[in-house]
Structures are given as C-alpha cells and as structure tokens.
Amino acid sequence: MMKAVFLDSLSLGDDVDLTPLTGDGNDWTLYPSAGKDEVAERIAGADIVVANKAPLDRDVLAAADALKLICVPATGVNNVDLQAADEAGIAVCNCTAYGTAAVSQHVFALMLSLATKLPQYSAAVARGDWARSKAFCLMDYPIMELQGKTLGIVGYGELGRAVAGLAKAFGMQVLISERPGADSVREGRLLLQDMLPRCDVLSLHLPLNEHSRNLIGAAELQLLPDHALLINCARGGIVDETALAAALRDGVIGGAGVDVLSEEPPRNGNPLLSDDIPNLIVTPHSAWASREARQRIVQIVAGHISHFCKGGTPDAINLKGSA
C-alpha cells in the first residue's frame, strides 16, 4: 500500500466517479484544492501525488523525500518542475486524448458562433429587433459560410488532427503550420508566416513553451486577412492578449474565440475581458470539461498508478499538440 494524495480533486468537478482511484488499495487523501503554501505539507510522506494545477516546484519536490510518482490529470504539465522531478528520480505522467471529442466540438462551437454571428443575433432577438423588423428576418450582421474556406492549424497532434477532420466535413481546406522552432519544414507543412495570409480561420493546438509563448502577436495578426477568425483552445500565453484586443478593436481580424487566458482564473483582469471588444467570445477554459472527458481522465490516471504500483515504468510525458 502506498500513500497517495490528490491535491486538487475539485479541478475535475464534483460529478465524476473517483473510485477507480480511491478504490485501488492505496491510502488516499483527497483535497478539493491546495494553495501554493499548502502543497509541501500536504504531500509530506506521499509516494504518489495527483496534481492538476497545484504547483510542484523545485523546493516542494526537494522536500518530498518519499515521492515516487506525479500524475497530472491534464495534458499540460506547466505546474511541475520537470527538471527537478527528473533529478530527484520522480516519474511524471500526464493524460492525453481524453478530451479530443470535447475540445474539437468546442473549437467548432466557437468557430460557428463567430461565423454565423450567433451572439449578435441572439442579443438582437432579446432586444426586440426581430419583433420590430419590417422583413421576415434579420440580416444585420454578415454571416460567413465555412464551406470553401481555409483553416490553418498550428499544432497537428491529437486535437489538431481531430479539428482538421471536422473541418473537412464542413468542406474546408486545411493547411498545417510547421512546428514553432523547427529547423526545417516538412512536406505538407508551411511556415507560419506563409500560412497566415491564406487563412480564413486560424486554430491553435500546441503546448505553451519557449517556442510558442506569444507566438501570435501583433505582426502575426497583421498577416491574417481582415475577415479571419482566430480560435485558441490551447493555452492563453500562446497569443499576445493585448495585441489581440487591439486587433479586434481596429478591425485587423474579423473575430476571435478563446477558451484560455494567460492567468486562470483571471483574478487580476485581462485585456480580453474588456466589454468594448467586438466579435470576441471568451469561454472559461471549459472546452475540455465534458463529463465524459473528465471521467476518462480519472480512468487514465488510475491506469498510470496501477501500472506503476505493479512495477511498470510510467508512460513518458506526451504533449500531443506539439506535432
């Protein structure tokens, strides 16, 4: 029996079944959440730690002398000092492919909402504009068909491929950007700066790292056509949020849908939360959060732990969006 701690179980919601974890024969302690100053004390003596967003930095890991395995119930592992974990001989596992259906669905929900001006028309009906209309319908906001349009994808891993498949079902042409920081351009890929002018829609599906931070800034937004839509369901820091807010206000691009911000939750505000930005939809990092996807995460983490407890080597960290 090993001592196991889940530092932030509430991050998976209160409607998932955690018994695949807690019923594995280990000694489990579940915390709904854990602040930075609480982590070290709560994982003292633990063999296994599950941490979604709770920070596991070098100092915390150095003090966790019993720790053998960290499981991150998400794809991104920005909350873990991976170098420190490696130096301490602590295995780290993440979860992939759990939210492919949910996230790709959300990408198209944002894309379709922007293309059809769904928020504007819904608001117009609520204001009574339709009831006062002299015609049988409202056509105040231009609608864009996705069929025949070009979708550019940055990050062609599990999610990028799923979004590409949906795009083709809508009759869209798909272009794929080469990985940021790559030394060469593979066949079938384009340099980002060459792809952007050809995009009617740009969708991001890559992890946040030294190559992708602020990848889409003012210069990149200027390269997009003025009707283009930007969709970001990856990580907030990939887009320069101040530049995006300015681009939307100035009509540099046609619209944006984002599910992620550089600080989450945005307790200190954010340039994209201003109420004067046109054609912007912000959702609260909820693209991944279908109940089905969250339950898959529990199963994946339970599988990692079971494999480890039987003497197996945990799967290496896999950031699917980086392909």
Q: Which of 242, 288, 246, 286 is nearest to 262 (CA)?
A: 242
Strand positions, DSSP E, 19-103: 27-30, 48-50, 69-71, 91-93
The DSSP element (H or E) to which 154 belongs, if any, is: strand 150-154
Q: How many residues does the chain have?
A: 323
Report residue 116 as tokens: 């059809």
Q: Which residue is catalytic, options 41, 87, 263, 264?
A: 264
For the question of residue 264 being annotated catalytic, the response is: yes
Distances in whole angstroms, Cα of residue 305 to Cα of each of 11, 163, 285, 298 = 19, 31, 27, 11
> What are the phi and psi torsion angles at 93 (to 5°)?
-120, 140
Q: Which residue is catalytic, options 235, 294, 296, 304?
A: 235
For the question of residue 178 being annotated catalytic, the response is: no
82 class by beta-carbon count within 10 Å (0-12 exposed, 13-18 middle, 19+ buried): middle
Strand positions, DSSP E, 177-311: 201-204, 229-232, 255-258, 280-282
Contact 106, 286 (CB under 8 A): yes
The DSSP element (H or E) to which 62 belongs, if any, is: helix 58-63
Torsion 209-164-241-284 (CA) sign: negative
Q: Catalytic site residues?
A: 235, 264, 285
